[in-house]
A and B are shown apart, each in its own frame.
Chain A
Amino acid sequence: MELKAEVLSTIDAKGVNRRDFIKYATVVTSVLGLAPNMIPKVAEAMVTKQRPTVIWLHFAECTGCSESFIRSTRPWIDQILLDIINVAYHETIMAPSGHNAEKSLSDAMAKYDGKYILVCEGGVPTKNDGIYGRVGGRTMLEIAKETTKHALATICVGNCACFGGVQAAAPNPTKAMSVSEATGIKTVNVSGCPPNVINMVSTVVHFLLLGKLPALDDNGRPLFAYGQTIHENCPRRSHYENGEFVKTFGDDGAMKGYCLFEMGCKGPNTYNNCPLIKFNDGTNWPVGAGHPCIGCSEPNFWDEQSPFYVSI
C-alpha cells in the first residue's frame, strides 16, 4: 500500500504513529466493505489540513454512546480528538462550563455555518414543549431544531437519538422521540445501545472519503454495518441448525456454547455486525458471554423485542 508523500508528512506533522494510522485505515476500509486498494484514499480522507468540525449534543440519554466512542483504539481516541476531527462541543469532555461552554457552541455554529457535522446522542423530550430537558435554559427540542438546521449532515448515534430509546419505551412519560421525528429532518442512524465505535467512526470516514453519506436501510442505518442479521453471522449458528440449545443459564448446553435462541436471543430479528467486529477491540460480545442478544440496534426494541428472556 502506498501513501502519498503529502499524506505521510501530514501524519508525521500531527505526531500520529504511521503504523497505527495504517492499521486504522485498514480496519475502516474493511468495515466499509471497500477494496483494499482504497486504503490510501481512506487515509487521505483522514488527514485534511483543516479538521472537519463536529458538534456533539447530548439530549435525553445516558452518555453510553459517548463512552463507546471514547473507547476507540484504531485510531486512539486522543488521535481522533486532536488530529482527525475538531470536536468543538461535547459536554462530557469539553473544558469550559456555563457561559463559556455555550460560547463554544455559538462560536462553532457561526464559524462553520452549514459545514459542521452534527452528532446527536439521546432522544428529544417533546411533551409540554419539551420542558423535561434543558441545557443552558433552552429546551433540548429548541436546541435540536436550531442545530440541525445549520448542519451539513446530522448523524444520530445510539438507539435514543435514532429511535427515541429507553425513555421513549411505553408509556413514554416525556413523549421522547428520535431527532428525526422531533425536527423533521433526515438523519443517518448509527443505532445500538450503545453502537460500536467502529461503526461510528466508519460512518464519518465514509462521509469524508466519498463526500456523501453511506447507503442506508429503511431505518436510516448504514448498510455496511446493518445489512445482515446477528443470526446470519453468529458463531453459534451451527448449534441452531443442529437443534442444540441452552435451556437454562448455567446448564450443560451453556458450558458447551450452544445456541441461545430458547433463552430469548433476538439475533434473528436484529441487524448489526456485532458477531464480526465484537466490542472493545474484539474482546467479547453478548452472545459470546453466553447472554442472548436483546436486539438493541432495532427501532423501539425496549417494547418490540422484550421480554428479553422469552423466545421469539
Chain B
Amino acid sequence: MAKYTIDPITRIEGHLRIDVEIEDGKVTNAWSSAQLFRGLEIILQGRDPRDAPLLTQRACGVCTEVHALASIRTLDDAVRVKIPPLARICRNLVHGAQFLHDHMVHFYVLSALDWVDVVSAMKADPKKTAALADQLGNYPNSGAADFRAVKEKLQTLVASGQLGPFANGYWGHPDYRLPPEANLLAVTHYLMLLRIQSRAARMMAIFGAKNPHVQAYCTGGVTCVRDISNVDRLAEFLYYLKEMQEFIDNVYIPDVLAVASFYKDWGARNIGGCTNFLAYGGFPQNSGRYLEEKFFMPGGVIMNRDLGGISAVDPEAITEEVTRAWYKNGPPLPPAKGVTEPLDNARFDYDGKYSWFKAPRYHGKPMEVGPLAQVLTAYAKGQPGVKTMVEATLKHLNVPATALFSTLGRTAARAIETKVIADEMAAWINEAIELIRDGKVETVAEWKWPGETMGYGLIDVPRGALGHWIHQDKEDKIANYQLVVPSTWNLGPRDAQGQVGPVEEALIGTPVADPKAPLEIIRTVHSFDPCIACGVHVIDPDTNEVRKFKVC
C-alpha cells in the first residue's frame, strides 16, 4: 500500500501534516500530525492571572477573541463573580461577530477552492452567471457586467503570468463538478467576501476595541462602558449586522446549497463523517458558573450518531492521553491533572508516536467538536432556529438526516449556525437597549482576590469546544494553566486502544482520484477548520515537570 504525505496543509491556521495510505482509489489509513509547538502554558506560570486572557488569545489570531472569552470565563469562575447582564450581552455580541466572521471566511477563503475551479470560471458566460445569481438570491452587484468584470480580472491575472495565491492549485481536477457559470459565481462571491469580512471584523471592534485580538474583557465584565451603553454604537453594530444577514441569506446559504447539490453523494455515502460529537454550548442567557448557565446554543454529547440518546456534558469525563504523541507515556488523565513530558527526539513514526497534539477523549472516546457537533446537539435538543434550518436544508437537497454525518454536513452546519446566530443577535441588541433604558448600565461586577483557587471556563467557539483551566496560588499568581482546544479534539492522534482521532476517522474511506492532487483529502481536512497553533502549546521541554491539577 502506498503512503502519501501532504505537508504543509495550507489554508488553515498553523502547521499540519497529513499522511494517508491509499488502496484501490480509497484512503485506507490516515495520520494527522501537528508540526509546531510554542509552550504558552509554561509561559503563563507565575504570571498575574488577569494577563491570561491577553496571552492565551495569542494562541490564535484567526479565531481571535475565543481564548480571551474562555480565559475571562475561567477567571470569573476562579473568583466566583457573576457578571452583570449588560456585560454578558456585550460578550455575546462580540462572540457572535466572531462566529459570523470566522464561518464566512472559512467557507470562502479557506475551503471554497476545494470545490470551486477558478480556471473553469474563465469559460463562463457572464449573462448566464447573472441569471444563475438571480435564481439563487437577491444581492447587489450581481449583473452580467459585474460578472464580466470578474471574468476579465481573472483573465488579466492569468495573462500576467503572476497567479499569486492561485498558482499551482488543483485546477482541472476530475472531481471539480461545478459548471463554469457556478464557478464564476463562486469566485465573485469569494472576492465579495474578502470585503464583507472586514465589516464583520468591524462589528467586533465596536465593543472589542479591535480585531484581531480584542482588548475589552476584564474579570467581572467588560471595559467598553462607553461603547456598550451608547445607542449610537449599538445602532452601528446593528447596521453591520443587517449587512451580514443580507450576505448570509442571499449569498452564503445559497452558495453552500448550490455547491452541495453537485456533491450530494458525499452526504449519501457519509464521506468524511465521524461517530461521536461533543458541544459545550454557547451564548449564555444568564450569568453563573458553567452547568448553571442556560445557553442559546445548547451543549450536549452524542455517541454513535444517536441523536435520540443525547446526554448532558460532564466536564469530569474529559481526559487526554499521549501514547501516540511526542510525550513520555502515561495513563489517560483529566486535562486538569495533565502530565506533560515531551520527548527530546520528535521523529515521525507511523507505528509509534507522530504528533505534538495529545489525544483528548470523552469517556475514553474520540469526539468531533465544532459546528457539526453544535448543530447536531441543537437539532437533537429541538433548538427552534436550528431545527427549522436543518429541516429546510435537508428538504432542499432532498437528502436524509443521516447525510449530515459527512464533510458536506460539516460545511452545511457552519452555514446553518451562522444564520441562526446572526438572526438572534438583533434580539441581544434590543435586550441591551432595554437595559440601558432602565438605567441598568453596570458593566463590571465587583470581585476580590480569593486566595488560592481553581476555576475553569468552557464555551463553544467557531472551531468547537474550548476549555481553559486555572489554578491560582495564594500569592494571586498562576500556578498552573491548561487549555484543551477544538483542534486537539479534532486533529489529535490515535490512543492506546488504537482508536483513531476524528480527522483520521473522517479521512478513512475517502475516494481519491489522483494521489498527486489530493483534493478530496484536503476537502475533509479543511472542513474541520484546523487551527494548529492553538493546539500545540502544551510543553515543558526543560524540566519535564509533572503538573498536578484539579477541576473544581
Interface residues of B (CB under 8 A from A): 5-15, 17, 35-40, 42-43, 47-48, 50-51, 54-55, 58-62, 64, 109-110, 113, 118, 149, 152-153, 156-157, 160, 162, 164-170, 191, 194-195, 197-198, 201-202, 204-213, 215-216, 218, 220-221, 223-227, 229, 344, 346, 441-444, 516-518, 522, 533-534, 539-542
CB atoms of B215 and A286 under 8 A apart: yes
Q: Which 7 A-B pairs have the closest CB atoms?
A: A64-B61, A250-B444, A95-B169, A173-B39, A289-B209, A279-B210, A307-B48
Query: Please, how many angstroms separate the alpha-carbon atoms of A153 and B200 in the complex?
Result: 33
Interface residues of A (CB under 8 A from B): 13-15, 50-51, 53, 58, 60-68, 70-73, 76-78, 81-82, 85-88, 90-104, 107, 125, 127-128, 131-137, 165-167, 169-174, 176, 193-194, 248-250, 254-255, 257, 278-281, 283-286, 288-291, 294, 302, 306-310
Nearest CB on B from A114, distance (A): 17
Cross-interface CB contact of B37 among A70, A90, A174, A291, cutoff 8 Å:
A174
Query: Please, how many angstroms separate the alpha-carbon atoms of A228 and B59 in the complex?
Result: 29
CB atoms of A280 and B58 under 8 A apart: no
Known: A98-B6, A250-B442, A307-B48. A280 touches B201 (CB 8 A): yes
> Which residues of chain B have C-beta atoms less than 8 A from A279's C-beta?
205, 209-211
Nearest CB on B from A39, distance (A): 23
Known: A248-B444, A283-B202. A96 touches B209 (CB 8 A): no
CB atoms of B221 and A15 under 8 A apart: no
CB atoms of A310 and B64 under 8 A apart: no
> Which residues of chain A have C-beta atoms less than 8 A from B17's C-beta?
134
> Which residues of chain B have C-beta atoms less than 8 A from A127's C-beta?
541
Query: Please, how many angstroms separate the alpha-carbon atoms of A88 and B157 in the complex?
Result: 13
> Which residues of chain B have C-beta atoms less than 8 A from A291's C-beta?
209, 215-216, 218, 223-224
CB atoms of B10 and A285 under 8 A apart: no
CB atoms of A280 and B516 under 8 A apart: no
> Which residues of chain B have C-beta atoms less than 8 A from A248's C-beta?
444
CB atoms of B221 and A250 under 8 A apart: yes
> Which residues of chain B have C-beta atoms less than 8 A from A165's C-beta?
58
> Which residues of chain B have C-beta atoms less than 8 A from A166's C-beta?
38, 40, 43, 55, 58
Cross-interface CB contact of B8 among A128, A136, A169, A278, cutoff 8 Å:
A136
CB atoms of A62 and B58 under 8 A apart: yes
27 residue pairs of the A-B complex, CB under 8 angstroms, read: A14-B156, A50-B162, A62-B61, A62-B64, A77-B195, A78-B195, A82-B164, A91-B8, A91-B12, A92-B12, A95-B113, A95-B165, A95-B166, A96-B10, A96-B167, A97-B9, A97-B10, A101-B168, A171-B43, A173-B38, A174-B37, A194-B213, A249-B221, A280-B210, A283-B205, A290-B227, A308-B54
Known: A78-B195, A176-B38. A290 touches B225 (CB 8 A): yes
Taking A61-B61, A250-B220, A308-B48 as known contacts, 17 extra A-B pairs with beta carbons closer than 8 A to each other, sorted by chain A number, are A15-B156, A61-B533, A63-B62, A64-B62, A65-B61, A78-B194, A95-B113, A95-B166, A96-B169, A97-B8, A101-B8, A193-B213, A194-B61, A250-B442, A279-B205, A289-B215, A291-B216
Q: Is the interface of A mostly helix, strand, loop or mixed?
A: loop
Query: Please, how many angstroms separate the alpha-carbon atoms of A294 and B217 in the complex?
Result: 13
Cross-interface CB contact of A86 among B162, B223, B227, cutoff 8 Å:
B162
CB atoms of B39 and A53 under 8 A apart: no
> Which residues of chain A have C-beta atoms less than 8 A from B168's C-beta?
95-96, 100-101, 103-104, 107
> Which residues of chain A have C-beta atoms less than 8 A from B11's C-beta?
91-95, 97
Question: Closest residue to A67 on the B side, CB-wise?
Answer: B212
Nearest CB on A from B514, distance (A): 12
Cross-interface CB contact of A88 among B164, B225, B229, cutoff 8 Å:
B164
CB atoms of A310 and B48 under 8 A apart: yes
Query: Please, how many angstroms separate the alpha-carbon atoms of A15 and B147 in the complex?
Result: 12
Query: Please, how many angstroms separate the alpha-carbon atoms of A137 and B346 in the complex?
Result: 12
> Which residues of chain A have C-beta atoms less than 8 A from B213's C-beta?
64, 193-194
CB atoms of B55 and A62 under 8 A apart: no
CB atoms of B162 and A51 under 8 A apart: yes
CB atoms of B226 and A257 under 8 A apart: yes
Task: Output the residue of A77, A131, A167, A284 with the most chain B CB within 10 A.
Answer: A284
Query: Please, how many angstroms separate the alpha-carbon atoms of A99 and B10 in the complex?
Result: 11
> Which residues of chain B have C-beta atoms less than 8 A from A194's C-beta?
61, 212-213
CB atoms of A309 and B167 under 8 A apart: no
> Which residues of chain B have C-beta atoms less than 8 A from A86's C-beta?
162, 164
Nearest CB on A from B343, distance (A): 10
CB atoms of A136 and B164 under 8 A apart: no
CB atoms of A92 and B10 under 8 A apart: yes
